[in-house]
Amino acid sequence: MIQDQILEKIKEYKKIIIHIHKRPDGDCYGAGFGLKNIIKETYPEKEVYLVGEEAEYVSYVGTPDKLEDEMFKGALSIVVDTASEDRVSDGRFKLSDFVIKIDHHIPVNDYGDLMYVDTTRPASAQIILEFFLRYKDELKFNMEAAIALYTGIVTDTGRFRFRSVNSDTFRSVAYLLDYGLDFVEVLNKLSVKSENLLKLQGYVLLNFKKTENGVAYIKMTNELVEEFDVSLEEATSLVNELSQLEDCPVWMLFAEYEEDFVRARMRSKGPAIDKLANQYDGGGHALACGANLGTWDKADELLADADILVKEYKENLDK
Ligand SMILES: [Mn+2]
């Protein structure tokens, strides 16, 4: 089993460095810090680090470490929740001795010496929790791990609302509740929004647009982000504000990232949209993915293609 091989590698290495993805979310933080805490609790003599960018809204889960290049020498790097190499937040895993990838996204450009990818799992944090449960007679757990893993699962499942949730999700989460996790406290931490973000949410609800056949979207320009004085992460977290709109099975949020590079966050409760994302240098899951566009013109092209997809989807429903 691949899990046995991963456990062997964890045992073998004295220094373990966990990597997350760029623009980190609740799941990569949850899976990463969950794994870090489990290893640290079980093997206190090992050096265990987590590197990568910080994510403000889940900062209660943990704080990434700052490491010098030489720290990677002879280390085991474990990259969580990251489909492709260029998305890894700290690319220095290439300096490590051995690289393990643990993920639940559809593989795009695979990397690593050992890959454990399970696309049937709604969150990478669920993969880590199930890994722990498989070896729970051997591994140790703590409350930090419980908080981290719950955060990962609850955020990547949209609070257990997405179709990717399965009975195994609840079976594994049951362990966290038995362990004594105060899940309401975690949800309260996650549901706090700054005053500015709440006002931007209001703006999105008043100003979103729709394509002819039912793709709802909002263009989150840099001017908007500056006007409402929120972080880009906060602004793009509003994508699911458009999920409830009737007759719009697909919705998107566009934003300008570093050097004004336009990206799309794409969501669907109808047709699979991951192939469409692939056509625009992106990927992810069938119903939740992202695309790398570059320009606003490309955004309009993507919207036109998505509109056709929704049209065909609705025609098929009518048959
Ligand atoms: Mn994830």
**Ligand 1 centroid vs 73 CA: distance in angstroms?**
28
Residues, CB-to-ion distance under 5 Å, ligand 1: 27, 81, 124, 156
Q: Please tell me the predicted confidence (pLDDT) of residue 33.
A: 98
Decide if pLDDT at 318 tops 90.
no
Q: What average pLDDT does the chain have?
A: 96
- Displacement of CA 59 from its chain's centroid (Å): 15
* Strand partners for 47: 15
**Ligand 1 centroid vs 157 CA: distance in angstroms?**
9
Residue-wise pLDDT for 88-126, tens only, equals: 999 999 999 999 999 999 888 789 999 999 999 999 999
Is the sign of the CA dihedral 96, 101, 105, 109 positive or negative?
A: positive
Residue 133 near residue 21, CB atoms below 8 Å = no
Q: Please tell me the predicted confidence (pLDDT) of residue 271.
A: 97
Residue-wise pLDDT for 208-255, tens only, equals: 999 999 999 999 999 999 999 999 988 999 999 999 999 999 999 999
**Ligand 1 centroid vs 106 CA: distance in angstroms?**
11
**Ligand 1 centroid vs 155 CA: distance in angstroms?**
9
**Ligand 1 centroid vs 93 CA: distance in angstroms?**
19
d(CA 318, CA 229): 44
Query: 87 pLDDT band (50/70/90 cuts)?
Result: very high
Mean pLDDT score, 124-137: 98
Q: Please tell me the predicted confidence (pLDDT) of residue 202.
A: 98
* Terminal Cα distance for the chain, rounded: 45
Residue-wise pLDDT for 163-213, tens only, equals: 899 999 999 999 999 999 999 999 999 998 999 999 999 999 999 999 999
Q: Please tell me the predicted confidence (pLDDT) of residue 319.
A: 79
**Ligand 1 centroid vs 104 CA: distance in angstroms?**
7
Decide if pLDDT at 85 tops 90.
yes
Q: Residue 142: exposed, middle, or buried by beta-carbon count in 10 A (0-12, 13-18, 19+)?
A: middle
Query: 58 pLDDT band (50/70/90 cuts)?
Result: very high
Residue 102, both tokens: 């643990």
Decide if pLDDT at 259 tops 90.
no
**Ligand 1 centroid vs 117 CA: distance in angstroms?**
11
Enter the CATH code of domain 2-191.
3.90.1640.10
Q: Please tell me the predicted confidence (pLDDT) of residue 207.
A: 98
Model pTM score: 0.86
Helix (H) or strand (E) holding 26: helix 26-42
Q: Please tell me the predicted confidence (pLDDT) of residue 109.
A: 79
**Ligand 1 centroid vs 317 CA: distance in angstroms?**
30
Question: Does 195-318 match 2-191 at the fold level?
Answer: no
Q: Please tell me the predicted confidence (pLDDT) of residue 168.
A: 98
Architecture of domain 195-318: Roll (3.10)
For the chain, the domains span 2-191, 195-318
